[in-house]
Amino acid sequence: MSHRLFFGIRPPLTIREKLLDLMVGIDNARWQDDDQLHLTLRYIGEIETHRADDIAEAAQAIRFEPFELHIAGCGFFERKGVPRIAYATITSCEPLVRLHRKIDRICTKAGAEPLDHPFVPHITLARLNSSAGPVGPFLSRNVDVALGPWTVEEYVLYESTLREEGSLYEPVVTYTAAGK
């Protein structure tokens, strides 16, 4: 049996509520709901149960101190020149990058596919297809959005189930910062 997994950080409710308020202004966008808002630390993808168990167990040994995150503006990822994802930008910080690297190492060592792109800390707000309206007004309105800081004291291994109405993310294991 296989599982579709990723590691993520869930922002606190106050930040999620403010993110939800930003989600207007792109016609035909598939906006995320509250349950889907997270920062992906490492996408694992489809992986067999024994490898998933190895990853979950290895993550228990990762040590990290609490650290702060901020949101600074919004952006979008494109494919072949077409916007596909609108997101809130997470200001990168050394503790976040270190945590990502540690998680990436255990995933790769356990047999997960290596990443083929750089780590770009963000929270997905909307998924866009070819019928989505222009993103310019949304970006202009949210270029200066600043949310946080909030303190990260845990991260989560999630299982993702694809559904027609959007992915369902279920927590599998929560990992807590040192001293918490």
User: Counting beta carbons within 10 angstroms of the beta carbon of residue 41, is it exposed (0 to 12), middle (13 to 18) or buried (19 or more)?
Assistant: buried
At 74 the pLDDT is 97
Q: What are 110-133's pLDDT values in tens digits?
A: 999 999 999 999 999 999 999 999
Question: d(Cα 137, Cα 154) in Å, to the nearest integer?
Answer: 35
At 93 the pLDDT is 96
At 83 the pLDDT is 94
CA angle (71 as vertex; 118, 29 as ends), nearest 5: 80
Return the half-sphere exposure (C-beta side, CA atoms, 13 A cut-off) of residue 8.
Answer: 24
Query: Which residues lie across from 2 on neighbouring strands?
Result: 48
Closest CA to 100 of 117, 87, 72, 119: 119
| Below-50 pLDDT ranges, the chain | none
At 165 the pLDDT is 77
Domains of the chain in start order, with CATH, are 2-176 (3.90.1140.10)
At 22 the pLDDT is 97
At 169 the pLDDT is 96
Contacts 24+ apart (CB under 8 A), 76-84: 76/128, 76/135, 76/139, 77/120, 82/128, 82/130, 83/128, 83/132, 83/135, 84/127, 84/128, 84/129
pTM of the model: 0.95
At 1 the pLDDT is 85
